[in-house]
Amino acid sequence: MRVIYVENHAYWLLAGAVWSVYVLDRILDVRRYKGSVEEMSTRHRFHWKYWKILLPTVIGVIIYCVYSAFNVASSAMLRAGISGIGMCIVYLLARKIDKGEVAYAKNFIAGMTFAFGVAAPIVVESVQLPARGIYDLWYHFTAASDADFFLALRHGLANFGLMTISTIGIVFASSALPFLFGLLCFLNITAIDLWEKSRKSDLDDEKEACETILATGLLVLAAFAVYMVAYRLSEYERPLCYVVMVSTALLYLINKKRSYFYLDAQRVLADFAMILPLPLIWIFN
């Protein structure tokens, strides 16, 4: 996006927000779990064992994030963060609705939410956001009399909703890269779900179907990335496309050779596939 500088607190806020959501999500999973501890996955067993330490730590991180958001970050960055919370709420709703063994809708929203969180601090530094902002909600309440409370609430929430939707739209419309990265995150999450489903199944046809579904998705993403590099993206945007291509190829390789690895090893390798190609950014730039 050719942004020269992003404030350091943006990275800390992003890291704190993602980690907090992840840990709280795992703690909620453990609290709702009805089976035995031995049947939990390794990551859930860890959060079950240490939740008394993790929960206060998360609360501390959230307090730091909230303080930094309102006292350190710019109004544009705060606005982007609030919009990210809106996407997290949509994810939680999708999680309630999509309860399939492989929750494609929930995974898609999760991938796009993560991509939005990564892209938003960069985009808000490089584009001019519309005038409507986070403080419009407060303005309506301070300007209204007691009799107009519900009218003020309606106008404030309407402005707040428009602000959130417009910010999300601006981030994803600024370039194809956030959407492309979101698709990669979606396939990363879905790969783990499909591998889990394959391990649980005793049917060869179902195992083969899981491999085929993931392989097809990865091939489509790779083809889309090639098309974007060839016809749509500028020379400044192409390096991230190369990263997506390499990550997609690594996930495809892990999927093909998945029988050689334990499931926990596959999880680590899937995340490693997202990180390994990052030096290409500096090489191509």
What digits encode the pLDDT tens for the residues 114-140? 999 989 988 887 777 665 555 555 554
Residue 154 in this model has a pLDDT that exceeds 80: no
User: CB of 192 within 8 A of CB of 270?
Assistant: yes
Residue 141 in this model has a pLDDT that exceeds 70: no
Alpha carbons within 13 angstroms on the beta-carbon side of residue 269 total: 21
**Residues 37, 42, 44, CA angle at the centre, nearest 5°?**
65
DSSP annotation string for 73-108: S-HHHHHHHHHHHHHHHHHHHHHHH--SSS-HHHHH
Separation CA 255–CA 239 (nearest Å) = 24
Separation CA 285–CA 264 (nearest Å) = 35
Separation CA 95–CA 87 (nearest Å) = 12
Tokens of 130: 């519309």
Per-residue model confidence as pLDDT tens digits over 31-55: 888 888 778 888 888 999 999 999 9
Name the more confident of 59 and 86: 59
User: Per the domain annotation, does 257 fall within a domain?
Assistant: yes
User: Per the domain annotation, does 268 fall within a domain?
Assistant: yes
User: CB of 81 within 8 A of CB of 73?
Assistant: yes
Separation CA 166–CA 163 (nearest Å) = 5
User: Per the domain annotation, does 69 fall within a domain?
Assistant: no
Residue 284: its pLDDT value, please?
72
DSSP structure class, residue 228:
I
User: Per the domain annotation, does 153 fall within a domain?
Assistant: no
Cα four-point dihedral sign 271, 280, 214, 28 = positive
User: Per the domain annotation, does 64 fall within a domain?
Assistant: no
Domain count, the chain: 1
Under the banding of pLDDT at 50, 70 and 90, the label for residue 92 is confident
User: Per the domain annotation, does 283 fall within a domain?
Assistant: yes
Domain membership of residue 191 as a residue range = 176-285
Residue 132: its pLDDT value, please?
54
Q: What's the pTM?
A: 0.85
The residue whose two tokens read 């492989």 is 102
Under the banding of pLDDT at 50, 70 and 90, the label for residue 105 is very high
Separation CA 215–CA 249 (nearest Å) = 10
User: Per the domain annotation, does 93 fall within a domain?
Assistant: no
- For the chain, the distance separating the N- and C-terminal CA atoms, rounded to the nearest angstrom, is 12
Tokens of 95: 């999680």
User: CB of 50 within 8 A of CB of 153?
Assistant: no
Residue-wise burial string across 13-35, b where 16 or more C-beta atoms lie within 10 A, e elsewhere:
bbebbeebbebbbbbeebeeeee
Tokens of 153: 């609430």
Residue 136: its pLDDT value, please?
53
**Would you call 211 exposed, middle or buried from its count of C-beta atoms within 10 A (0-12, 13-18, 19+)?**
middle
Residue 137: its pLDDT value, please?
52
Separation CA 69–CA 139 (nearest Å) = 19
How many other C-beta atoms lie within 10 A of the C-beta of residue 196? 17
User: Per the domain annotation, does 9 fall within a domain?
Assistant: no
